[in-house]
C-alpha cells in the first residue's frame, strides 16, 4: 500500500503547482466582491443566498447584491480546491473545468451550504466501493448542479425539511458517479457537459416525486441588469492577464506558446481532449483568455446583460478551454444560436437565450469533429430545445444546457455518421477514467481527428 500511495502522489505531482494559482483565483473573486459592496451588505447577502430557493434562473447578483454573489463564488471555489486537495485528486485539464464550473455557477444556484450533501454522497460511494476519493472528487463537484433540489427540500417548499434535503442530496451524490460514466459513452464525446445530461435524467425523476409528495416546484427568472461596466472590466482584465501569462510567463518563448495555441485550434475538441496534457499550460492560458473575451463580446454585442448567470457562463467557457473548447469550434455553434434568433419567435436578448448562446458551446465537438456547418446546425437546434428542457425539471438542474446538449448529441451523432460523414469513433470506459486518474502528457491527435 505504501508503494502505491507514493506512486499516486508522484504521478499527481506533475500539476500540483496549479494549486497556488487556483488560490489566487479564489482570492481575486473575494477581492472583487469586497470591492463591489460593504462587508455588512455582503454578510446579509450571503444569508439571503443560503435561504433562497435556487432553481433556474436565480441570479444571486439580483437577490443578494454583486458583492455577496462574488464572495459566495470565492467561498465555493475555495471549498472546491480543498476537496480536490484532500481527496488527492490528480490535477489535469479537467481540474480547470471543475474550478471554472464551481466558481461560475456559484453566481446563480450553488452556495457554500447546499453543495455539501451531494459531496458527502459521493464520498460515501467511494467508501462503499473501497476506492480512493480522488477518482470521484471531480464528479462530486460537478454533480452539485442538482444543489437547487437540496435547497428546495431543505427550505420546506411544500414538502420536506433540512433532514430530507440532506438525505436527498446524499442519494444524488451517491448515484452520480455510476450514472455519469454510463451517459458519457452514449454521447460519443460530442457533449462536453456530460454530467449535465446525467443530472437532467436524475432531475426528471426527482421533480415528479417531489410534486407527488405535495411540493410545487416552479421555474424562476430572477435576472439582474445594469452591471455591464463592472463585470465587463473585470472579465476583460482577467482575460488579458491570462493571455499575457500564456505568452510571457509560462516558461516558453512567445513563438512557441503561440505555435502551441495554433495547434490547439486544429483539434476537434471531442471529449476527452485534455488540452493541458496535450499542449501544456501556455497554449491553455492563451485559449482561456481568448475564449473569455469571445463570451464577453457575445453578450455585450447582442445587447445582453452581464450578471450572475452570464458571467457564470463565461467562466464555464473559460474552464472548458482546458478541455475541448477553442475559438474555431465554439463560434459556429454560437452562430447557430444567432441564426435561430432570426427565424424563430424569440430574441437574443431573452434571458434564457443569452445563456443558450454561451452554454451551447457544450456542442463544440460537433463543429470541431464534423465541420462548422454541423456546428451551426447543432447550435440552431440547441437554441430551441434548451428553452423547453428546463420546464419538466422546474429549473432544478443548473446544467440545463448540458441536458439539452446531450439530447441533441444523441440524435445528431448517428444521423451525421450514417448519412453524411461516416466517422464512428467509439468511447471506451478507459477514455472516461483516464481524464479522472491520469496527468501524464499525451500526444495531440492529427488535425481533424
Contacts with 363 (C-beta within 8 Å, 6 or more apart), sequence order:
190, 191, 192, 333, 375, 378, 379, 382, 405, 408, 409
C-alpha cell recorded at residue 181 = 460514466
pLDDT tens-place string over residues 341-396: 888 888 888 998 999 999 999 999 999 999 999 999 999 999 999 999 888 888 89
Contacts with 265 (C-beta within 8 Å, 6 or more apart), sequence order:
326, 327, 328
Contacts with 249 (C-beta within 8 Å, 6 or more apart), sequence order:
none
Taking alpha carbons only, the member of 250, 322, 332 closest to residue 288 is 322
Phi, psi of 278 (to 5 degrees): -85, -35
pLDDT tens-place string over residues 290-321: 999 999 999 999 999 999 999 999 999 999 99
Please give the Cα distance from 317 to 436 (Å, whole number): 20
Q: Is 58 helix (H, G, I), strand (E, B) or coil?
A: strand
Looking at residue 419, its pLDDT comes to: 78
Please give the Cα distance from 200 to 218 (Å, whole number): 16
Q: Is 43 helix (H, G, I), strand (E, B) or coil?
A: helix
Please give the Cα distance from 366 to 375 (Å, whole number): 5
- % of the chain surpassing 90 pLDDT: 73
The answer to whether the beta carbons of residues 228 and 222 sit under 8 Å apart is no
The answer to whether the beta carbons of residues 149 and 204 sit under 8 Å apart is no
pLDDT in tens, the chain (449 residues): 343 344 344 444 678 889 999 999 999 999 999 999 999 999 999 999 999 988 888 999 999 999 999 999 999 999 999 999 999 998 999 999 999 999 999 999 999 999 999 999 999 999 999 999 988 999 999 999 999 999 999 987 667 789 999 999 999 999 999 999 889 888 888 999 999 999 999 999 999 998 888 877 777 789 999 999 999 999 999 999 999 999 998 888 999 999 999 999 999 999 889 999 999 999 999 999 999 999 999 999 999 999 999 999 999 999 999 999 999 999 999 999 999 988 888 888 899 899 999 999 999 999 999 999 999 999 999 999 999 988 888 889 999 999 999 999 999 988 888 876 665 556 656 666 667 677 778 877 666 55
> Cis omega before residue 57 (within 30°)?
yes
Amino acid at each position: 500500500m505504501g508503494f502505491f500511495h507514493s506512486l499516486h502522489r508522484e504521478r499527481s505531482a506533475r500539476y500540483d503547482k496549479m494549486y497556488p494559482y487556483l488560490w489566487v483565483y479564489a482570492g481575486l473573486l473575494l477581492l472583487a466582491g469586497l470591492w463591489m459592496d460593504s462587508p455588512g451588505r455582503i454578510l446579509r447577502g450571503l444569508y439571503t443566498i443560503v435561504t433562497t430557493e435556487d432553481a433556474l434562473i436565480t441570479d444571486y447578483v439580483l437577490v443578494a447584491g454583486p458583492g455577496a454573489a462574488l464572495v459566495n463564488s470565492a467561498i465555493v471555489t475555495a471549498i472546491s480546491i480543498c476537496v480536490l486537495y484532500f481527496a488527492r485528486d490528480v490535477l489535469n485539464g479537467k481540474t480547470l473545468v471543475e474550478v471554472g464550473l464551481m466558481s461560475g455557477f456559484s453566481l446563480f444556484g450553488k452556495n457554500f451550504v447546499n453543495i455539501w450533501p451531494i459531496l458527502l454522497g459521493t464520498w460515501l460511494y467511494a467508501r462503499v466501493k473501497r476506492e480512493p476519493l480522488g477518482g470521484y472528487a471531480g464528479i462530486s463537484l460537478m454533480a452539485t448542479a442538482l444543489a437547487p433540489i437540496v435547497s428546495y427540500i431543505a427550505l420546506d417548499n411544500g414538502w420536506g425539511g433540512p433532514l430530507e434535503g440532506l438525505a436527498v442530496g446524499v442519494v444524488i451524490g451517491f448515484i452520480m458517479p455510476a450514472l455519469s460514466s454510463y451517459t458519457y459513452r452514449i454521447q460519443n464525446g460530442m457533449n462536453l457537459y456530460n454530467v449535465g445530461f446525467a443530472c437532467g435524467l436524475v432531475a426528471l425523476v426527482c421533480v415528479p416525486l417531489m410534486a407527488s409528495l405535495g411540493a410545487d416546484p416552479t421555474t424562476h427568472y430572477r435576472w439582474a441588469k445594469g452591471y455591464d461596466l463592472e463585470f465587463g472590466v473585470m472579465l476583460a482584465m482577467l482575460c488579458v492577464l491570462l493571455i499575457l501569462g500564456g505568452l510571457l510567463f509560462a516558461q516558453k518563448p512567445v513563438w512557441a506558446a503561440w505555435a502551441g495555441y495554433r495547434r490547439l485550434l486544429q483539434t476537434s475538441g471531442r471529449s476527452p481532449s485534455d488540452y493541458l496534457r496535450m499542449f501544456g499550460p501556455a497554449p491553455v492560458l492563451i485559449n482561456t483568455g481568448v475564449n473569455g473575451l469571445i463570451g464577453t463580446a457575445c453578450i455585450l454585442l447582442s445587447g445582453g446583460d452581464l450578471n450572475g448567470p452570464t458571467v457564470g457562463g463565461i467562466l464555464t467557457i473559460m474552464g472548458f478551454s482546458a478541455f475541448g473548447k477553442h475559438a474555431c469550434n465554439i463560434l459556429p455553434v454560437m452562430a447557430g444560436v444567432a441564426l435561430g434568433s432570426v427565424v424563430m419567435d424569440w430574441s437574443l436578448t431573452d434571458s434564457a437565450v443569452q445563456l443558450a448562446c454561451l452554454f451551447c458551446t457544450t456542442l463544440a465537438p460537433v463543429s470541431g469533429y464534423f465541420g462548422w456547418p454541423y456546428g451551426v446546425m447543432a447550435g440552431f437546434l440547441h437554441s430551441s430545445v434548451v428553452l423547453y428542457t428546463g420546464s419538466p425539471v422546474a429549473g432544478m438542474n443548473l446544467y440545463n444546457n448540458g441536458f439539452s446538449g446531450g439530447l441533441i448529441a444523441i440524435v445528431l451523432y448517428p444521423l451525421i455518421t450514417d448519412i453524411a460523414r461516416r466517422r464512428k469513433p467509439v468511447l471506451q470506459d478507459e477514455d472516461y477514467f483516464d481524464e479522472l486518474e491520469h496527468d501524464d502528457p499525451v500526444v495531440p491527435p492529427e488535425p481533424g481527428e
